[in-house]
Amino acid sequence: MRTRILAAAASAALLTHCSHTQSPATAEAAAQAQATPAAGKAPASERLTYPVSRKGDVVEDYHGTQVADPYRWLEDADAPETRQWVEAQNALTFGYLEKLPARGRLEARLTELWNYEKYGIPSREGSRYVFTKNDGLQNQSVLYVADSLEAEPRVLLDPNTLSQDGTVALTGADFTRDGNLMAYSLAAAGSDWNEIRVRDVRTGKDLPDVVQWVKFSGISWTADGKGFFYSRYDEPKPGEKLSGALYFQKLYFHRLGTPQTRDVLVHEDKAHKDWGFGGEVSEDGRYLVITVTHGTAEENQLFFKDLKAPKSKVVELITGFDADYTFVGNDGPRFFLRTNLDAPRGRLIAVDVRQPDRKAWKELIPQGEDTVRGVSLVGDRLFVSVLKDARSQVRVHALDGKPLGEVALPGIGSAGGFDGERKDTETFYSFSSFTTPTTIYRYDVKTGESTVFRAPKVAFDPSRYETTQVFYTSKDGTRVPMFLSHKKGLKLDGSNPTYLYGYGGFNIPLTPGFSVSNLVWMEMGGVYAQANLRGGGEYGSEWHDAGTKLRKQNVFDDFIAAAEYLVAQKYTSPQKLAIAGGSNGGLLVGAAMTQRPELFGCALPAVGVMDMLRFHKFTIGWAWTSDYGSADNAEEFKALHAYSPLHNLKPGTRYPATLITTADHDDRVVPAHSFKFAAAAQAAHGGEAPVLIRIETKAGHGAGKPTSKVIEEVADKFAFALHALDADGGEAVLAGESVK
């Protein structure tokens, strides 16, 4: 399988972005919350006066239930009144944050640690190698090309030169078979909208070709290098670029040297507005493999087109949306497919396109005890990446499925990569853990040996920290894993500031990974906890399904049980516990804090889906109904309404100190979610702890955010959390932290 540098992931993964949902606090919990002093209580001198948020009179009928939506006006992000509201909220928030005692030293330490070389996984493109590198504090990583692994690399594309503030990001790239041309996509200010251009690798100059209105798309060249396939939507109507609903994605072919107006429509479906189409050219150049998705469901169809027959029609190979089918590669007309059909943890099958009847399908690698997350075909070997209790393992098989051994990884962590072509004798992969910065390895396919290609040097001593994996019991008896990282010698006396992070959605697993921000938290004596909730992809489709639609409350129960475990085992106490998550994880935090406000001292919901009754009306939100359900369905409405964070804020309740974060250019989870939740939370809050919203400008959902903005936001979040948890003393630790 050819590598797509920074290539957009599968359509379903691209459409996701959030963790949302769950039920309201019970009357008992609400009463308990009102009777319990909130952690992070601000002294009288810090008590805040919130900007006025006008209450409208909008009321909507949902299957006979009248639901008020007083802040509907905040959905119009460009309205003067909304702009004024944003300015007033930011003035309050940034005024508060800049006075926090830990803020300055946190930013300094984050900047110090962040300043190390970061490499991406190399790929061989023709006779050259291509990889990304960030010198340390560059806002965007730079794309380099080298004639050999030992040769001096030269800059192929530096996104930092495309804008003064580093807000233009490289989001994907694909190369012609000879490696001489690169089609690459750019996004501005964090938007999901991409623009594709073409660069001559030999000269570093761009060709005239420009392709616009691309979203949730990969790029795939034909074997002759005369053009590439991509996916796009129609140009949005005026005023709807960042919020309008997206339907009717189409697959196009762009011929090099021609204007986009002459691009050829390869496939569309006018009868199904919610179907998406992604095209990939097989390594031998023979087939265009078309993945057909509908939203983010773990189900897709698979079509193909014979590119050697110019007038050939698209053939519907697998229809019905009954399972996930991911194209791995082909051996002539035999397609290798990773699937969860009759295998919730995944398996590998071979389908001969000349004999497509399901009775003729061949199983090559059966389902095992562990979850298959990816399969690649390199050097006539199948590299199978699996998760064993959320830890990476990589197994090697022959093309007939015969086991050939396992890649010896350096420890408990996360591995990624293993891309390349059938003829390659090498491949590259990355490995990281909570205390191991991302290291790049070269793997010799013939000998099975791994050697370090690039290893970063970060100014900290990993031997001072430890990671353990624990298992706790959720509300319904389900066994849930959680990683805990902290300094060695931690005292279990309930006094440790703890940062509990979760996601729990869209079949996305949370695995061990290095983070400068988490390291700084641990340096200050904090505990970093990462819970592997249902709804994620840690244990296959059954684990995912158990946290979707009418079962979404399981995700919140798992998260709450993780918090209760940390308290019961005396890692921390409610007054010292912060919860955090982004996107779908933002929903998670919003649901947890509204259901159990007394259990947490601080809540940090980021770019969250907070209005579960209207999320499907904006941009690609409709695609998330596979995980959440829809308020248009009476039964699903009841479940959504029961946990929607916006609709479960109870007046007079003492909520934990809360810092909501979003961005004005987020066109995936539109900022209205956070705007409305902030307005409602400030109005409902009966305690003295601050409830603030931080609204980033010229940024989107998170991808491509400049390093400078990331560091500033993390410093703000951690300073806020330390103050809320009465742990400002942790900041002093940084001043005397021993660095080796």
| Reduced 3-state DSSP string for 44-64 | HHHCCCCCCCCCCCCEEEECC
Cα separation, 64 vs 148, whole angstroms:
68
pLDDT of residue 227: 98
Cα separation, 620 vs 669, whole angstroms:
8
Cα separation, 120 vs 118, whole angstroms:
7
**63-72, 102-111, 618-627, range with the lowest pLDDT:** 618-627
Asked if 179 contacts 127 with a C-beta cutoff of 8 angstroms, the reply is yes
Asked if 514 contacts 434 with a C-beta cutoff of 8 angstroms, the reply is yes
CA atoms within 13 A on the CB side of 171: 29
224 in the same domain as 80: no
143 in the same domain as 61: no
209 in the same domain as 66: no
Beta pairing, strands 275-281 & 287-294: antiparallel
709 in the same domain as 619: yes
Which is more confident, 40 or 337? 337
pLDDT grade, residue 46 (50/70/90)? low
Query: Which of 257, 281, 305 lies at the terminal end of a domain, its last residue?
Result: 281
Asked if pLDDT for residue 3 goes beyond 80, the answer is: no
pLDDT of residue 701: 56
Which is more confident, 3 or 318? 318
pLDDT of residue 191: 82
pLDDT of residue 357: 96
pLDDT grade, residue 686 (50/70/90)? very high
Q: Which residues contact 679 (CB under 8 A, 6 or more apart)?
A: 53, 71, 74, 85
Strand partners, 468: 484
**15-29, 361-375, 595-609, range with the lowest pLDDT:** 15-29
Two tokens, residue 168: 């233009």
Which is more confident, 621 or 8? 621
79 in the same domain as 207: no
Two tokens, residue 605: 């919901």
| CATH number of 207's domain | 2.130.10.120
653 in the same domain as 542: yes
Coil vs helix vs strand at 297: coil
pLDDT grade, residue 237 (50/70/90)? confident
Asked if pLDDT for residue 474 goes beyond 70, the answer is: yes
Query: Which of 266, 281, 296 lies at the terminal end of a domain, its last residue?
Result: 281
Cα separation, 34 vs 89, whole angstroms:
26
Query: Which of 245, 265, 281 lies at the terminal end of a domain, its last residue?
Result: 281
Asked if pLDDT for residue 418 goes beyond 80, the answer is: yes
pLDDT of residue 51: 97
Question: Could you read off the pLDDT of 358-404 as tens digits, one per residue?
Answer: 999 999 999 999 999 999 999 999 999 999 999 999 999 999 999 99
Asked if 123 contacts 131 with a C-beta cutoff of 8 angstroms, the reply is yes
pLDDT, mean of residues 483-510 = 97
Asked if pLDDT for residue 59 goes beyond 50, the answer is: yes
For the chain, what percent of residues have pLDDT higher than 70?
A: 91
126 in the same domain as 98: no
Catalytic residue numbers read 583, 701
For residue 351, the one-letter residue type is V
Tally the domains of the chain.
2
Cα separation, 194 vs 34, whole angstroms:
47
512 in the same domain as 658: yes
Two tokens, residue 450: 């791994």
Beta strands in 79-126 (DSSP E): 118-119, 123-125
Average pLDDT, the chain: 91
| Backbone phi and psi for residue 304, each to the nearest 5 degrees, phi listed first | -150, 160
pLDDT grade, residue 484 (50/70/90)? very high
Cα separation, 737 vs 740, whole angstroms:
10
In this prediction the pTM is 0.89
pLDDT grade, residue 677 (50/70/90)? very high
Coil vs helix vs strand at 328: strand
pLDDT grade, residue 622 (50/70/90)? confident
Asked if pLDDT for residue 167 goes beyond 90, the answer is: no
pLDDT, mean of residues 434-446 = 96
Asked if the structure places residue 436 within a domain, the reply is no
593 in the same domain as 688: yes
Helices (H) and strands (E) in the chain, counts: 13, 39
The string over 652-676, giving b where at least 16 C-beta atoms fall within 10 Å of a residue's C-beta and e elsewhere, is: ebbbbbbbbbbbbbbbbbbbbbbbb
pLDDT grade, residue 190 (50/70/90)? confident
**115-119, 165-169, 315-319, 733-737, range with the lowest pLDDT:** 733-737
pLDDT of residue 702: 54
Asked if the structure places residue 198 within a domain, the reply is yes
Asked if the structure places residue 106 within a domain, the reply is yes
pLDDT, mean of residues 284-308 = 95
Question: Could you read off the pLDDT of 633-655 as tens digits, one per residue?
Answer: 999 999 999 999 999 999 999 99
Asked if 597 contacts 33 with a C-beta cutoff of 8 angstroms, the reply is yes
Asked if the structure places residue 390 within a domain, the reply is no
77 in the same domain as 190: no
pLDDT grade, residue 736 (50/70/90)? very low
**39-53, 496-510, 725-739, range with the lowest pLDDT:** 725-739
pLDDT of residue 165: 86
Two tokens, residue 717: 């979040």
- Domain extent, residue 602, equals 56-111+460-733
Angle, vertex CA 19, rays to CA 598 and CA 643, nearest 5: 50
| CATH number of 528's domain | 3.40.50.1820
pLDDT of residue 661: 97
Asked if 595 contacts 24 with a C-beta cutoff of 8 angstroms, the reply is yes
Which is more confident, 697 or 118? 118
Beta strands in 297-449 (DSSP E): 300-306, 315-318, 325-331, 334-339, 347-352, 362-365, 371-378, 381-388, 391-397, 403-406, 414-417, 426-433, 436-444
Asked if the structure places residue 9 within a domain, the reply is no
pLDDT of residue 49: 96
Asked if the structure places residue 397 within a domain, the reply is no
Strand partners, 131: 144
Asked if pLDDT for residue 26 goes beyond 50, the answer is: no
DSSP letter (8 states) at residue 75: G
Cα separation, 221 vs 182, whole angstroms:
9
